Amino acid sequence: MNASRPVVTLDGDTLLVSGAVDPLTVISVRQEGEKWIRASKADLQVDLSAMGTAHSVVLSLLLCWHRLAVARSQALRFTGVSERLNSLAALSGLDRHLPGFSAQSSSENLHHS
Question: What's the CATH number where 72 sits?
Answer: 3.30.750.24
Cβ-Cβ contacts under 8 Å for 17 (sequence gap 6 or more): 6, 7, 8, 29, 33, 46, 47, 48, 50, 51
Neighbour count for residue 33 (Cβ, 10 Å) = 25
Does residue 26 lie within any of the structural domains? yes
Does residue 75 lie within any of the structural domains? yes
Digit-coded pLDDT (tens) for 9-30: 999 999 999 999 999 999 999 9
110 pLDDT above the threshold of 70? no
Does residue 79 lie within any of the structural domains? yes
What is the band of 102 on the pLDDT scale with cuts at 50, 70, 90?
Answer: confident
> Are the beta carbons of 29 and 18 closer than 8 angstroms?
no
Does residue 112 lie within any of the structural domains? no
Does residue 108 lie within any of the structural domains? no
Does residue 109 lie within any of the structural domains? no
Domain coverage including residue 80: 7-102
pLDDT for residue 52? 86
> Are the beta carbons of 50 and 17 closer than 8 angstroms?
yes
Instruction: Count how many domains the chain has.
Output: 1
Does residue 1 lie within any of the structural domains? no
